[in-house]
Structure 1
Amino acid sequence: METGVFPLLGWLAMAERELLLFAGVFLLIGVVDELAIDCMWLWMKLTGRIRTRKVSRLAAESASLLGPAAVLIPAWQEDGVIGHTIRHARAVWPQNALTLFIGCYRNDPRTIKAALHAAQGDGRVKVVIHDVDGPTTKADCLNRLMKMLVAEELLRGTPYRMVMLHDAEDMVDPAALALCDRALEDADFIQLPVLPQPQADSRWVGGHYCEEFAESHGKALPVRAALGVGVPAAGVGCAFSRKLLKRMAHQNRHGAVFSTDSLTEDYELGLRVHQMAARSLFFRARGEDGRLIATRAYFPDRLENAIRQKSRWLQGIALQGWDRLGWSAHPLEIWMRLRDRRGPFAAIVLATSYALLLLIGVMSVMRWLGVLPPFPEDWFLHFLILANIFGLGWRIVMRFAFTAREYGWLEGFRAIARIPVANIIAIIAGKQALLAYIKSMSGVAPKWDKTYHHAHPADICSKNDE
């Protein structure tokens, strides 16, 4: 190629074409994948296979339970939020058949003190102190709570009917307990939507979770449930029949429900439900006020915390999940596991795409100056560019629509502006997840790489009501 006095530009032109092919092809595969989910969601929505139920909040909030229910909440260094979580749950869930099991560690006195203070002598709250120093893993803390639950059953002589999982920073929905209790008549595992709450002081980092969960829990997971494939548990706002958890414990050689060597024990738990041929239900419902019945929480509001959390998710689901869960012979299940495990590779494609944008900018200037010949007339490259432009436009429309539906049109526009932020977080998290996974192959035991919380939506709501 003739490039005048700049022979290096010839190599750059070759790199431009190869990177366009690499990024264009894999971005297009992603476009087709997402478009398939979108089309399925639209078709299932029109045919009634996916629906958002209408429920009476008043009836649900005042309904008695069909049997004893337990809520497990593991906590490590959560003295800033655990009190708000307990007080809010006690206030909005007045049912006497409820027991809150709060898992603390013996070397975390501040969390223990906050939990006991919030319990205020309520017999429904059991503060369970782990007999080892923390942090171990979230799964280990949950297993300790399950041991206490079994002991409580022996003491009462009555088994629990339902077990729910929540995190220390969750603001539970007043209608959720009774609705999950009733839904267990038709399913063994129920997952409610999760709604991250917008944060005025973290519109970009903390806010980007809003659109991700709005799309995932508004479209992708309902499609998975309707297709009859495994539905991952989110670890919060999920309910299991006690009988199912007992079966899981019996199948585990250690007799424990939760896998202590997994970074994402909640994700695995949901897929194990499907492997056991048990019934899963992704439960979407709205009250008379139009608000979604969902678990609300603040997500990480600082860049480094968001990257660390996303890195753990990617390592546990995409890399560790491959080792621990393998694949399935069912085509639809293979498709969904490919979607779950694409994160690290998607980070490479995204990084390549951003590098390509910079290169194209430089090369365009060179072509404008006449140093390089015009962009080659390659029909396939032009097709890739146009197809991906269409795909990006469609993704923007869907992201805006799902975000605006839950948070309003202003947050919908913010979701569009946050796309580069979400991509940058995904790129860095993908790199860190791969490095952490390689390190874990040397036999390093996993520890609770948790996110620290300093604000709680229930506290903000109570201040707004005053």
Structure 2
Amino acid sequence: MGRILYWTGFLVAASFLFFSLDDLFWDFYYYFWGRKRIRHRLRIEELDRVPRRLIAILIPAWNEAEVIGPMVENLLHSVNYPLALLHVFVGVYPNDIATVEEVQKLAERYPQIHAVVNPREGPTSKAQNLNQVFEFILRFEQERRLRFGCFIIHDAEDVIHPTSLKLANYLSLKYEVVQLPVFPLQVYPSWRTFFPYLTASTYADEFAENHYRGLPAREASGAVVPSAGAGFVIARSVLDALGTGKLFDEESLTEDYRLSLDFARFGIATHFFLEGVERVTEDGRVVVEYIATREIFPNTLREAVKQKSRWIYGISFQSFSLWQILCDRRFSRIAKYSLYRDWKAKYGNLLPLPGYAVFAYFVCSLFCSLSPVYPRGSFSWWLSAVLTVFMIERQLMRMVALKNVYGWRSAVAGCLIPPLLPLRTVWGNVINFLATLRAWRIALFGFPRSRPRWQKTRHSYLSPKALVRYRRRLGDLLLEKRIVDPKTLALTLRRKEEQERLGEKLLKEGFITETELLECLGELLQTGFLEPDPYTLRIEGNHSRFLAVFCRYAVVPIAWGRDSVLLATAKPLSQETMSSLAAELGVRKVAVVLAPSEAISQGLEVLKRKLPQQFPRLGERLLKMGIIEEEHLAEALRVQRFSHRPLGDILCEMGVLWPEDLREILREDGIQETQVG
């Protein structure tokens, strides 16, 4: 009996040690080499120095009627990106009436929302849904004469960071495929919430550890970076190179992981970016908030096992065979090693529970007359000692990740209750054990149906009150653009009167300029910001009667459309004011962009002189033809101020104008490409 116990303990300890060495390698690589390679790759303020291009967001949806509405509403009201340059495509099924009706209601209210009805009844696989959405987008581009700069895949329950679209737009100019972090939402840790939300908290522990340190280590080493499904950015150049919209393997349960693996085979690397922005909390503390996707994960054992078994089966069993990867010369050694690490999860996840049984016996042997499983001084005893050191190291690394992503409370709850063998870690291992058994059952005996279908978990969404804390405020944007420093902002917030506005306070005390304030407000209010050249303004003959209106409202016209006008103003205008302006100017739509008050004053003076038109203006021509929108022109003019490029070229880069259409218009109207004011 003693020898059986000894060899059982020895095998368990040796197995744990073998798998721990793998984790230890990535920890050491990241902290000693990886951080130096990925640090300071990006300055957040650089995001505003490139044209904001058309972005397509793809959302596959099956039985998502409860969450798709709040998700899209939050996206449109919180994102710091021109809404005219954003389109959301939701893949739905004809037999999912509730979700179809919800998306159609959104499409009626917002022109940026599009329902993509699948030709097949649901659920199919998530990959088939996404392929249909991609093919719809390619047809949409042809019909609308548009060209998206990048495509971002999200889930129907995602809370998308307001800065993520600007970041995706910038990164897709430099990289072909980008994965942004995913961090689960969790209830504020306390003794009251610890046990009720124990299952959901294990997701926070694992994602924080993997996306704070694991994926950055893979990125820095040149290993294969897997897609997480949400916050996955694909540049337009990828579709151009592959020549098809069918990117996903429709038989795969983890289509996101399989796609990143296929990209790697084609020589298309997936890059992972963990970028943080500073913000000052209401109590004056400066914290780092990561530009990441957040979502609520399952909080029941059954749903968690169902979801994780899909991940384990799709990655470890379905996506590749280890022998094929080892023989594939397209993968580097470090890439093969990283894929081996993913593959071995179907074995490694089965170890913890036998290990806990041996550990329980060991603890009992300390107090009862039982045969020792690890005799003091034996080889297995030394293995266990080393393994204990490794286990402590792993908990410290997880604690660092949790502290940086969620704060000290989460770090303590996840790693120190109780010490050495934390309950959340144990429960997470139990979930992974059961999920791996379920994955093995699928691998050995197959699915209940003839083919794998969408293995979906039930979703929920945050309340409007909870969503407020995930939206950017004026102070956050001032910090992001490095206009003020955290200390100044925190001091101003403490001294500000309750009814006093932060922008006015900072402006009055000389910490910011009017231009800097309006630039942030333009982004926050989604109106945009522009510094117009007053001497390029003019009123056409039939618009001269509106001069008094412009003076009364302190606005200047930037461009006239077919039944619209783009106005510049030094202060935000209410919806009532804009409606009054539209009625007095006799147009259907009034679009506004914020501009410095000095430019508005100078512009009004120039308009009073009634200067003659110097040359035909391309922007107005395109507006009157209905090819671009007022917001497109405002963004192109903003870019032109710092890039000094022809307006037509900028509009083509933004994706709202095709180059061949531009050349045809210039040829018809006799407009020189330099005459684009």
The equivalent position to 2:436 in structure 1, one of 427, 430, 436, is 430
- 1:18-97 to structure 2, matched below 5 A, reads 18-44=7-33, 47-51=36-40, 53-56=42-45, 65-91=51-77, 92=79, 93-97=81-85
CA shift, 1:440, in A, is 2.8
The equivalent position to 2:454 in structure 1, one of 442, 448, 455, is 448
What does residue 531 of structure 2 align with?
A: none
* Matching of residue 273 in structure 1 with residue 263 in structure 2: yes
The equivalent position to 2:180 in structure 1, one of 192, 208, 212, is 192
What does residue 551 of structure 2 align with?
A: none
What does residue 303 of structure 2 align with?
A: 305
Verify the 8 A CA contact 2:9 2:374 in the aligned structure 1.
no
The two structures have a TM-score, normalised by structure 1, of 0.88
Tell me which amino acid in the other structure corresponds to 1:238.
Answer: F
- 1:119-268 to structure 2, matched below 5 A, reads 119-199=107-187, 202-248=196-242, 250=244, 256-268=246-258
Note the alpha carbon deviations across 1:328-356, whole angstroms, 9 max, x for none: 44321221011111222012211221221
Segments of structure 2 that go 5 or more residues without pairing to the other structure are 280-287, 416-421, 472-677
The separation in 2 between residues aligned to 1:291 and 1:38, in whole angstroms, is 23
CA shift, 1:322, in A, is 2.6
Verify the 8 A CA contact 1:225 1:282 in the aligned structure 2.
yes
What does residue 292 of structure 2 align with?
A: 294
Change in CA separation of 1:312 and 1:382 when aligned onto 2, cut-off 3 Å: same
CA shift, 1:54, in A, is 4.9
CA shift, 1:120, in A, is 4.6
CA shift, 1:406, in A, is 1.1
Verify the 8 A CA contact 1:314 1:343 in the aligned structure 2.
yes
Note the alpha carbon deviations across 1:7-56, whole angstroms, 9 max, x for none: xxx2xx33321221221112112221111111111123553444575524
Change in CA separation of 1:227 and 1:279 when aligned onto 2, cut-off 3 Å: same
The separation in 1 between residues aligned to 2:312 and 2:277, in whole angstroms, is 34
CA shift, 1:90, in A, is 1.4
CA shift, 1:245, in A, is 2.9
Verify the 8 A CA contact 1:50 1:223 in the aligned structure 2.
no
Tell me which amino acid in the other structure corresponds to 2:145.
Answer: G
Change in CA separation of 1:95 and 1:151 when aligned onto 2, cut-off 3 Å: same
The separation in 1 between residues aligned to 2:464 and 2:251, in whole angstroms, is 33
Higher relative contact order, structure no. (Cα contacts within 8 Å, ≥ 6 residues apart): 1
What does residue 540 of structure 2 align with?
A: none
Note the alpha carbon deviations across 1:278-326, whole angstroms, 9 max, x for none: 2432112112322110111111111111111111000000111234994
Tell me which amino acid in the other structure corresponds to 2:257.
Answer: Y
Segments of structure 1 that go 5 or more residues without pairing to the other structure are 1-9
The separation in 2 between residues aligned to 1:212 and 1:263, in whole angstroms, is 20
Tell me which amino acid in the other structure corresponds to 1:234.
Answer: A
The separation in 2 between residues aligned to 1:324 and 1:375, in whole angstroms, is 34
The separation in 2 between residues aligned to 1:442 and 1:74, in whole angstroms, is 23
Verify the 8 A CA contact 1:54 1:286 in the aligned structure 2.
no
The separation in 2 between residues aligned to 1:374 and 1:144, in whole angstroms, is 58
SS of the residue 1:229 aligns to: coil
The separation in 2 between residues aligned to 1:120 and 1:34, in whole angstroms, is 50
Verify the 8 A CA contact 2:67 2:156 in the aligned structure 1.
yes
CA shift, 1:459, in A, is 6.1
The separation in 2 between residues aligned to 1:372 and 1:325, in whole angstroms, is 42
The separation in 2 between residues aligned to 1:64 and 1:125, in whole angstroms, is 25
* Matching of residue 413 in structure 1 with residue 412 in structure 2: yes
The separation in 2 between residues aligned to 1:87 and 1:28, in whole angstroms, is 49
Change in CA separation of 1:458 and 1:34 when aligned onto 2, cut-off 3 Å: farther
The separation in 2 between residues aligned to 1:298 and 1:459, in whole angstroms, is 16
Change in CA separation of 1:287 and 1:67 when aligned onto 2, cut-off 3 Å: same
Change in CA separation of 1:161 and 1:52 when aligned onto 2, cut-off 3 Å: closer
The separation in 1 between residues aligned to 2:230 and 2:105, in whole angstroms, is 23
Change in CA separation of 1:75 and 1:352 when aligned onto 2, cut-off 3 Å: same
Verify the 8 A CA contact 2:199 2:304 in the aligned structure 1.
yes
Change in CA separation of 1:355 and 1:373 when aligned onto 2, cut-off 3 Å: closer
SS of the residue 2:412 aligns to: helix
Tell me which amino acid in the other structure corresponds to 2:30.
Answer: W
SS of the residue 1:291 aligns to: strand
CA shift, 1:136, in A, is 0.6
Percent identical among aligned pairs is 27
What does residue 3 of structure 1 align with?
A: none
Q: CA RMSD in A?
A: 2.5
What does residue 393 of structure 1 align with?
A: 392
- 1:316-335 to structure 2, matched below 5 A, reads 316-323=314-321, 326-327=324-325, 328-329=328-329, 330-335=332-337
The separation in 2 between residues aligned to 1:406 and 1:21, in whole angstroms, is 37
Change in CA separation of 1:65 and 1:425 when aligned onto 2, cut-off 3 Å: farther
The separation in 2 between residues aligned to 1:71 and 1:180, in whole angstroms, is 11
- 1:344-359 to structure 2, matched below 5 A, reads 344-359=346-361
Which structure would you say has the larger Rg?
A: 2
**Comparing 301-310 with 107-116, which one deviates more in the overlay?**
107-116
SS of the residue 1:311 aligns to: helix
The equivalent position to 1:314 in structure 2, one of 312, 315, 319, is 312
The two structures have a TM-score, normalised by structure 2, of 0.62
Tell me which amino acid in the other structure corresponds to 2:401.
Answer: F
